[in-house]
């Protein structure tokens, strides 16, 4: 009999960049697993896991993930890759943040009241941004008129920033897509990058079969094993968008 | 044998206003019953109740002594009504006429029935292909009638079948009604304002007034208001200045009814009798009366009187002649409000 | 602006070259919509007829409720259906989550108020002498229903078209209940949402035109029912 | 003075079928014109064209010699039509009657106009508060008429104003029509199948047949088909077995028309004349003829004949008597198909 | 399942405690919908009337096109409007992007086919003797239009309700053109989408109920127009 497909809940970034479509056939070939996925916001992906509607999760919000595992919804959280966040903004750079470190840049934006567009959707990226505000400027400038909360996907958020000549925090993958969409000459440029603080960690979590009897933990484990294994790590490293590497395997540190 | 249809203590209200109140009414099988009465007297309401197309507010309808309600499985398909405002389905004339046959589960072979029904109402067979909205007023009315005739019902109720129908077709419809009774044994009840057509066709005529059945006919109805002169007599002035005198009315606005037999053609007043002078406008023969009937116009009003044969001397009563009518005011009766 | 023209060109390519992903989404859309439209017409037309036809106390209240339900947001319906058919929901065992059947259930809830409200209005607008005429011709209650529906066909046709347009264009239910799973539950609208998210605006436009092509086929074939009203 | 309304070469088609074809027709101001003719003869179509409610397929309508089209700014509000199937707005009777006044920009004070219009058609003022669907057939018809009378139009066209109206109200409507002419100088054109009502009311009557205006009246029309006997004479058998002989018809299905003057009451056949025997059903006085007119029933058919005064001997012609009619077949004319 | 009950409870809290974010979204929704409904009714009712009333060659084709446009996906409309009003688009200088006015433009395009198609059907279903009757009473073309609309009020009312339901529940345009910017262009539906994405299902349900409450207020107040038809 044919094996039931493995249901994965994941975030839009892995789907929108094409990573999963690239990995799925490799997974099938190596493990025989038929991978199906639902790409949503991180919050909804975790909820799907909580409701036993997925077997495995691939997300990037470490704090929420840890809480998820601690609540007994998931097992065996394994970090397996990262990409990085960057701060982008208009070429004119009104807050003059180009080349500064992350915290200086955030403070400069705050002081100059330049437009900053936030994802505002509780996604991994949003959570990272909130953490940075707290860390660098003590408080999130929630009600400031220059602080625009889009509540949308990354790409839409970048577009909004582009239309409004604002800054935003984005993952590099989406920025590459954006750059390509605008023919390589987008109005928003990378202004801050490479800071250790800007790491975007992805992990894979198995749904706890004690809570969800139907969850296919065995297959989930198999997928996780493959991802952190050499084959998976190499595959991640080899994935390119517009000839640029997007994700960096880092399972080794587990 | 029980009457085919019988009403007992039937009362019907619209928005709390009673428009029909009939203690008892029977219609025997195979008869043709006419229904006459002014606008709003309840004819259409009565026909809807009799045909089980509507339910009366209170009271019972019996079909051969069995109480029946709308959608009664047995009665439903045997009684058919031509409503006053018949709706034509948004289809062809053919589909309209065959509709009743189709829903009775009859298969195909409508062609002959439809052609026969069209002929009965005097329409050319070519009308079958017309659409409902390609008909003149009278043609539409006749198509609606044909749709009922095609069903050959046991009991057929017609509400104003000749309204906006030409005279030739009215005669045609009369023939069709007589044929239905003769060939299919259909019992008919027909409401119409075409009094002479109705008189000519029906075995009996029921007069409705304000929702009640009248004992007399409605030949000469005079509406109020009534005035009183200084001798405390009640009267009304006609358009030509003559006065008509009546007994004390129950209400100043009541309607008086003067039976044709009350109006005598003996010219001279005698005792307490009063006279009216008018012009003869026509003489008729009406099968419900043994004597011919004469129409006399006084001012605006047309009176009907009976002509006992002995009164006929020469051409005195021919149209255009002036005659004098006499009557006893006490013989005038009142309609209930 | 360019992406509009590009999208128009791309729509032809997708349709004419038989792009398998597009056809898969077309097929998913058509399947889900057929199921939901069948269900909502079968249930909604009789209910709408009764609502337009009968007079009962509280009828006005029922109409107001139906009118209100026209404004059920699709994501809201998606959430409710999800709650029921999720593995932890009362109907979880039937495995309807992330299936076209699941989508169709949600779409039926979406379409029902449209069918009911518009059918009721069409029936209410019928000539008031239709009913006594049909009774007088011997029609049973069922035959009165069928004939009334046929007489009100213009109104009921547009009810069906409006409801199917609502179903064809909805995203929230397909996304939430279907999961937008490629080759399985990805419908045209969820594909449009995905492509737009990816910044592939031209592809979004192209897929939108594909959806309009389906809608055109539907309204064109139904327009023959409209002859001679 | 130019005629108020004039048609020239008017032709109207429905779906390519010509239903009206009038070379010339004039209506003078202040007259009351009747329009008679069988169902489908084009009366309603003609009234719609005359009232500028519809545009004819070809030809011209003149108002006082000025060609006019529908929505003509000057004519539009001065001509009003009561359509055969008048639509009542889904509002109260009051709103229906005041609608025309309201759209003419008249401010308030409808109350008196509405009450006056209701009275003209014989309806109680309490009807003003009724809703459109709370009326009987005849009441609705009269409300529609009242809505036109309230406008006091210069020209009023009525299509079957007395269909489904009771006799008393028909008289009331007659009075209202005469009042409109007298008080407001209204010109009236009235289509009706109620021949005696029309005869009584109108100054002239136009007869329509198959969309054309007839030169004669339509008193005695005999429909085909016509048979031929072995002497090559054309004839038709009446329901009672008598034969009626006609000259060679243009078409075996043509309709013959026998003017009332053609039917003589002199009993004995002379020369080439033929006879018919029948029963007198009524005698009338009709203001359009100097002599009284007599109705004679032969089988199914009712013939109208003139009664020269000299022919009246005693009660021989009273209803119920049997009489013999004679006629010359050559005097019978044919209707165009 | 729990989140449904939780959501119902939360809806009361949001509405009764006057949650500022919710009220901001309600206000944005109401503003955008008022603008778009005003525009689409003003334009759509006359166009629908003409479409239902006039007979012209090609009428059937126009109806089929209008019926097809009922199926315009909201994201598609969003993309088209975006293309025009983005800074790089031909109307960029008016600064309509990420404004409620921009949303209203898209919603007008969404609502127009609904208003036109349903109005045309309502007008077509009018008694055929209405027109000659009005002409015979001396009505001008404009008065015939106004009176016909009033006589067809049941059908046009439901057209308005259906269109406003479509506008109130759409997400694609508000998201694409409005940008779902908190305190500015975040409408209830984009908020629902956001909360659902965040996994805050209960809040999504609560906001859905808030939207239904708005819809109820609308249909309840309009239901008085329905008396005595
Ligand atoms: N739907 C209704 N709602 C309220 N009143 C009504 C309704 N239908 C009829 N009526 C009233 O009931 C009474 C009887 O009406 P009905 O139609 O039976 O009269 P009718 O004798 O048929 O009159 P007509 O000769 O005008 O056809 C009238 O006073 C009429 O105004
Ligand atoms: N809308 C239409 N489409 C096609 N044919 C029509 C239409 N209306 C009327 N006709 C036909 O045109 C002819 C004239 O119709 P019209 O209504 O003028 O007759 P009428 O003299 O008023 O008849 P009636 O006495 O029955 O009212 C008839 O043969 C009728 O069948
Ligand atoms: Mg009646
Ligand atoms: Mg007519």
Count of domains observed in chain D: 2
D170 and D107 inside one domain: yes
Please provide the size of chain E in residues.
229
Best B164, B211, B317, B321 residue to mutate vs chain D (most D CBs within 10 Å):
B164
Question: What's the start-to-end Cα distance of chain A, in Å?
Answer: 35
pLDDT at D283 over 80: no
Q: Is D43 in the pocket of ligand 2 (CB under 6 A)?
A: yes
Looking at residue C229, its pLDDT comes to: 46
pLDDT at B49 over 70: yes
Q: What is the pLDDT of residues B53-84, one digit of tens each?
A: 999 999 999 999 899 998 988 888 899 999 99
Closest to E136 measured CA to CA, from A67, D87, D295: D87
Contact list, D283 vs chain B (CB under 8 Å): 282-283, 318-319
**Arithmetic mean of pLDDT, A20-41:** 91
D163 and D32 inside one domain: yes
pLDDT confidence band for D269 (50 / 70 / 90): low
CATH of the domain at D53: 3.40.50.300
Least confident among A78-92, B287-301, E80-94: B287-301
pLDDT at B111 over 70: yes
Q: Which residues contact B117 (CB under 8 A, 6 or more apart)?
A: B97, B146, B147, B149, B150
Q: Which residues contact A238 (CB under 8 A, 6 or more apart)?
A: none
Please provide the size of chain D in residues.
337
Which residue in C1, C172, C216 is closest to E171 by CB distance?
Answer: C172
Looking at residue D266, its pLDDT comes to: 66
Q: Which domain holds residue D197?
A: 5-213
Q: Is B167 in the pocket of ligand 2 (CB under 6 A)?
A: no
pLDDT at B310 over 60: no
Looking at residue C227, its pLDDT comes to: 66
Spatial distance between the Cα atoms of B280 and D247, rounded to a whole number of angstroms: 38
For chain D positions 129-188, those within 8 Å of chain B (CB to CB) are 134-139, 142, 159-160, 163-171, 175
Backbone torsions φ then ψ of D9, nearest 5 degrees: 50, 40
Best E136, E138, E227 residue to mutate vs chain D (most D CBs within 10 Å):
E136
Q: Which residue's entry shows tokens 């009269």? A: D142
**Arithmetic mean of pLDDT, D316-324:** 76
Token reading at A199: 């790491």
Looking at residue D311, its pLDDT comes to: 55
D317 and D197 inside one domain: no
B139 and B231 inside one domain: no
**Arithmetic mean of pLDDT, A118-131:** 87
Closest to D137 measured CA to CA, from C134, B189, B82: B82
pLDDT at D204 over 80: yes
pLDDT confidence band for A78 (50 / 70 / 90): very high
Q: Which residue's entry shows tokens 């031209």? A: C202
Look at residues D159, D183, D213 and tell me which one is the last residue of a structural domain: D213
Spatial distance between the Cα atoms of E21 and A120, rounded to a whole number of angstroms: 13
* Half-sphere CA count of D19, side-chain side, radius 13 A: 22
pLDDT at A2 over 70: no
Q: What is the pLDDT of residues D108-159, one digit of tens each?
A: 778 999 999 999 999 999 999 999 999 999 999 999 999 999 999 999 999 9
Q: Running DSSP on this structure, what letter comes out for residue D125?
A: G
**Arithmetic mean of pLDDT, E38-43:** 97
- Are B50 and D148 spatial neighbours (Cβ–Cβ below 8 Å)? no
**Mean pLDDT score of chain A, rounded to an integer?**
89
- Are B279 and B296 spatial neighbours (Cβ–Cβ below 8 Å)? yes
Whole-Å CA distances, D209 to B221, C145, D11, D223, D257: 37, 42, 14, 12, 11
pLDDT confidence band for D310 (50 / 70 / 90): low
pLDDT above 90 covers what percent of chain A?
50
Looking at residue D309, its pLDDT comes to: 59
Whole-Å CA distances, C189 to B292, C164, C186, C193, C195: 85, 14, 8, 6, 10
**Arithmetic mean of pLDDT, D191-210:** 90
Neighbour-count burial for D33-61, b at 16+ CB within 10 Å, e otherwise: bbbbbbbbbbbbbbbbbbbbbbebbebeb
Tell me the pairing of strands B155-159 and B187-191: parallel
B131 and B149 inside one domain: yes
Looking at residue B309, its pLDDT comes to: 59
Chains near B, with 3+ CB pairs < 8 A? C, D
Look at residues D184, D213, D242 and tell me which one is the last residue of a structural domain: D213
D178 and D82 inside one domain: yes
Token reading at B307: 């002509």
Q: Find the closest chain A residue to E182 by CA distance.
A: A149
Q: What is the pLDDT of residues B237-274, one digit of tens each?
A: 887 888 888 888 888 778 888 887 788 876 566 667 78
For residue B304, the cross-strand partners are: B295
Contact list, E147 vs chain D (CB under 8 Å): 89, 99
pLDDT at B51 over 90: yes
Token reading at D201: 């009311």
Q: Running DSSP on this structure, what letter comes out for residue D52?
A: T
- Are D69 and D125 spatial neighbours (Cβ–Cβ below 8 Å)? no
| CB burial of residue C223 (10 Å; 0-12, 13-18, 19+) | middle
- Are A220 and A56 spatial neighbours (Cβ–Cβ below 8 Å)? yes
Token reading at D297: 């029933």
Q: Is D15 in the pocket of ligand 2 (CB under 6 A)?
A: yes
Whole-Å CA distances, A110 to A140, C57, C150, D127: 10, 62, 67, 76
Q: Is B129 in the pocket of ligand 2 (CB under 6 A)?
A: no
Torsion of CA C187, C188, C193, C199, to 10 degrees: 130
**Arithmetic mean of pLDDT, E140-165:** 95
pLDDT above 70 covers what percent of chain D?
92
pLDDT at B215 over 90: no
Q: Which residues contact C229 (CB under 8 A, 6 or more apart)?
A: B90, C153, C154, E124
- Give Cα D296 to chain centroid, integer Å: 22
Q: Find the closest chain D residue to B300 by CA distance.
A: D171
Look at residues B192, B213, B234 and tell me which one is the last residue of a structural domain: B213
D129 and D186 inside one domain: yes
B180 and B261 inside one domain: no
How many angstroms does the Cα of residue B134 sit away from the middle of ligand 2?
A: 7
Backbone torsions φ then ψ of C87, nearest 5 degrees: -60, -25
Whether the bond between D225 and the residue before it is cis, its omega within 30 degrees of 0, is: yes
Packed helices C153-169 and E153-169: angle between N→C axes, nearest 10 degrees:
0
Which of D10, D42, D214 has most ligand 2 atoms within 8 Å of its beta carbon, as the pocket-test mutant?
D42
Looking at residue A1, its pLDDT comes to: 43
Question: What's the start-to-end Cα distance of chain C, in Å?
Answer: 43
Do the two chains C and A touch, given a threshold of 8 Å on CB pairs and at least 3 pairs? yes
Q: Is D18 in the pocket of ligand 2 (CB under 6 A)?
A: no
- Are D138 and D164 spatial neighbours (Cβ–Cβ below 8 Å)? yes
How many angstroms does the Cα of residue D228 sit away from the middle of ligand 2?
A: 33
pLDDT at E229 over 70: no
pLDDT at B186 over 70: yes
Q: What is the pLDDT of residues A145-172, one digit of tens each?
A: 899 888 888 888 998 898 889 999 998 8
For chain D positions 293-322, those within 8 Å of chain E (CB to CB) are none
Q: Running DSSP on this structure, what letter comes out for residue A5?
A: P
For residue A202, the cross-strand partners are: A81
Interface check D131 vs E, CB under 8 A: yes
Interface check C78 vs A, CB under 8 A: no
Spatial distance between the Cα atoms of D168 and A167, rounded to a whole number of angstroms: 89
Q: Which residue's entry shows tokens 């009361």? A: E12
Look at B283 and D285 and tell me if their CB atoms are within 8 Å.
Answer: no
Q: Which residue's entry shows tokens 């359509």? A: D83
Spatial distance between the Cα atoms of D219 and D327, rounded to a whole number of angstroms: 15
**Residue D300 neighbours by CB distance under 10 Å:** 12
Contact list, D148 vs chain E (CB under 8 Å): 136-137
Whole-Å CA distances, C64 to C117, D244, E93, E161, E225: 10, 70, 43, 10, 12
Packed helices E153-169 and E100-124: angle between N→C axes, nearest 10 degrees:
150
Token reading at A1: 């009999």
Q: Find the closest chain A residue to E172 by CA distance.
A: A152
**Arithmetic mean of pLDDT, E41-70:** 94
Spatial distance between the Cα atoms of E175 and E190, rounded to a whole number of angstroms: 6
Count of domains observed in chain E: 1
Q: Is B137 in the pocket of ligand 2 (CB under 6 A)?
A: yes
B315 and B331 inside one domain: yes
Contact list, D137 vs chain B (CB under 8 Å): 39, 44, 84-85, 159-160, 163
Look at B48 and C140 and tell me if their CB atoms are within 8 Å.
Answer: no
Look at E133 and D83 and tell me if their CB atoms are within 8 Å.
Answer: yes
Please give the model's pTM, rounded to 2 decimal places.
0.89
* Half-sphere CA count of A78, side-chain side, radius 13 A: 22
Residues in chain C predicted with pLDDT less than 70, given as ranges, are 1, 227-229
Radius of gyration of chain E (CA): 20
Closest to A6 measured CA to CA, from A30, A21, A27: A27
Looking at residue D68, its pLDDT comes to: 93
The runs of H, that is alpha helices, within chain A are: 12-16, 19-31, 42-50, 62-70, 102-112, 124-137, 154-163, 172-181, 217-228, 230-238
Q: Which domain holds residue C208?
A: 2-228
Looking at residue D314, its pLDDT comes to: 53
Spatial distance between the Cα atoms of A57 and A64, rounded to a whole number of angstroms: 12
Residues with CB under 6 Å of ligand 1 are B 14-15, 19, 37, 39-45, 84; D 133-139, 164
Q: What is the pLDDT of residues E107-141, one digit of tens each?
A: 999 999 999 999 999 999 999 899 999 999 999 99
pLDDT at B193 over 70: yes
Backbone torsions φ then ψ of B89, nearest 5 degrees: -60, 150
Q: What is the pLDDT of residues B116-171, one digit of tens each?
A: 999 999 999 999 999 999 999 999 999 999 999 999 999 999 999 999 898 888 98
D102 and D232 inside one domain: no
Looking at residue D313, its pLDDT comes to: 55
Helix (H) or strand (E) holding D333: strand D333-334
Contact list, E97 vs chain A (CB under 8 Å): 163
- Are C28 and C184 spatial neighbours (Cβ–Cβ below 8 Å)? yes
CATH of the domain at E31: 1.10.3720.10
Whole-Å CA distances, D283 to B195, B292, D195, D202, E16: 17, 11, 15, 20, 87
Which of B127, B133, B136, B138 has most ligand 2 atoms within 8 Å of its beta carbon, as the pocket-test mutant?
B136
CATH of the domain at B258: 2.40.50.100
Q: Is D44 in the pocket of ligand 2 (CB under 6 A)?
A: yes
- Are A61 and A171 spatial neighbours (Cβ–Cβ below 8 Å)? no
B162 and B296 inside one domain: no
Q: Between A147 and D305, where is the model more confident?
A: A147
Closest to D50 measured CA to CA, from D58, D37, D60, D40: D60
Whole-Å CA distances, D317 to A81, B296, D293, D325: 121, 18, 11, 12
B308 and B288 inside one domain: yes
- Give Cα D270 to chain centroid, integer Å: 36
Contact list, C147 vs chain B (CB under 8 Å): 89, 99
Look at B80 and C135 and tell me if their CB atoms are within 8 Å.
Answer: no
For residue B246, the cross-strand partners are: B234
């Amino acid at each position: 009999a044919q094996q039931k497909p493995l249901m994965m809940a994941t975030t839009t970034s892995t789907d929108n960049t094409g990573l999963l479509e690239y990995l799925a056939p490799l997974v099938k070939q190596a493990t025989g697993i038929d991978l199906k996925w639902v790409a949503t916001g991180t919050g909804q992906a975790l909820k799907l896991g909580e409701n036993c509607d997925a077997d495995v999760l691939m997300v990037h919000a470490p704090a929420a993930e840890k809480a998820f595992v601690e609540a007994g919804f998931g097992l065996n959280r394994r970090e397996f890759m990262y990409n990085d966040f960057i701060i982008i903004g208009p070429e004119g750079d009104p807050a003059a943040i180009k080349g500064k470190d992350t915290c200086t840049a955030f403070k400069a934006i705050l002081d100059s009241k330049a437009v900053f567009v936030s994802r505002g959707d509780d996604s991994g990226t949003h959570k990272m941004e909130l953490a940075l505000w707290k860390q660098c400027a003590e408080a999130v400038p929630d009600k400031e008129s220059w602080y625009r909360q889009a509540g949308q996907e990354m790409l839409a958020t970048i577009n909004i920033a582009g239309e409004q000549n604002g800054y935003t925090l984005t993952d590099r993958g989406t920025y590459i897509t954006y750059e390509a969409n605008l023919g390589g000459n987008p109005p928003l440029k990378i202004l801050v990058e490479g800071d250790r603080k800007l790491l975007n960690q992805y992990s894979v979590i198995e749904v706890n079969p004690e809570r969800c009897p139907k969850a296919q933990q065995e297959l989930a484990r198999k997928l996780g094993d493959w991802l952190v294994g050499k084959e998976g790590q190499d595959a991640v490293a080899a994935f390119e968008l517009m000839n640029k590497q997007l994700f960096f395997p880092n399972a080794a540190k587990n | 044998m029980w009457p085919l249809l019988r009403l007992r203590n039937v009362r019907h209200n619209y928005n709390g206003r009673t428009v029909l109140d009939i203690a008892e009414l029977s219609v025997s099988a195979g008869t043709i019953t006419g229904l006459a009465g002014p606008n709003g007297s309840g004819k259409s309401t009565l026909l809807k109740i009799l045909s089980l197309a509507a339910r009366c507010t209170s009271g019972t309808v019996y079909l051969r002594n069995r109480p029946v309600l709308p959608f009664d499985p047995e009665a439903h398909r045997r009684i058919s009504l031509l409503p006053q405002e018949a709706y034509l389905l948004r289809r062809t004339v053919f589909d309209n006429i065959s509709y009743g046959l189709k829903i009775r589960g009859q298969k195909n072979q409508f062609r002959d029935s439809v052609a026969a029904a069209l002929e009965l109402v005097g329409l050319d067979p070519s009308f079958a292909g017309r659409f409902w909205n390609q008909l003149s007023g009278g043609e539409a009315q006749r198509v609606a009638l044909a749709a009922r005739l095609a069903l050959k019902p046991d009991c057929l109720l017609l509400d104003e079948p000749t309204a906006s129908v030409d005279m030739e077709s009215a005669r045609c419809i009369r023939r069709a009604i007589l044929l239905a009774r003769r060939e299919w044994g259909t019992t008919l009840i027909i409401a119409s304002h075409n009094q002479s057509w109705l008189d000519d066709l029906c075995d009996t005529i029921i007069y409705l007034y304000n929702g009640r059945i009248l004992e007399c006919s409605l030949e000469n109805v005079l509406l109020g208001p009534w005035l009183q002169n200084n001798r405390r007599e009640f009267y009304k002035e006609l358009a030509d200045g003559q006065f008509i005198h009546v007994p004390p009315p129950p209400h100043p606005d009541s309607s008086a009814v003067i039976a044709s037999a009350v109006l005598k053609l003996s010219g001279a007043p005698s005792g307490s009798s009063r006279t009216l002078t008018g012009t003869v406008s026509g003489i008729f023969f009406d099968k419900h009366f043994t004597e011919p009937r004469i129409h006399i116009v006084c001012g605006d009003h047309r009176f009907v009187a009976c002509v006992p044969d002995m009164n006929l001397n020469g051409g005195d009563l021919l149209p255009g002649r002036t005659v004098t009518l006499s009557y006893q005011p006490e013989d005038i009766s009142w309609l209930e409000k | 602006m360019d992406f509009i023209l590009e999208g128009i060109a791309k729509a032809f390519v997708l349709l004419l070259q038989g792009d398998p992903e597009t056809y898969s989404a077309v097929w998913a859309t058509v399947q889900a919509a057929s199921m939901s439209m069948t269900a909502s017409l079968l249930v909604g037309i009789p209910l709408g007829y009764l609502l337009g036809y009968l007079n009962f106390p509280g009828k006005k209240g029922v109409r107001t409720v139906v009118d209100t339900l026209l404004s059920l947001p699709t994501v809201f319906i998606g959430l409710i259906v999800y709650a029921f058919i999720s593995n932890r929901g009362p109907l979880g065992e039937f495995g309807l989550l992330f299936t076209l059947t699941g989508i169709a259930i949600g779409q039926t809830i979406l379409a029902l108020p449209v069918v009911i409200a518009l059918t009721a209005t069409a029936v209410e607008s019928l000539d008031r002498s239709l009913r006594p005429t049909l009774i007088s011709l011997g029609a049973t209650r069922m035959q009165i229903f069928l004939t009334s529906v046929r007489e009100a066909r213009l109104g009921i046709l547009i009810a069906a078209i409006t409801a199917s347009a609502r179903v064809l264009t909805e995203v929230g239910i397909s996304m939430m209940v279907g999961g937008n799973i490629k080759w399985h539950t990805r419908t045209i609208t969820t594909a449009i949402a995905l492509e737009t998210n990816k910044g592939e605006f031209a592809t979004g436009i192209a897929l939108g035109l594909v959806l309009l092509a389906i809608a055109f086929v539907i309204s064109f074939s139904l327009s023959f029912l409209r002859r001679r009203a």
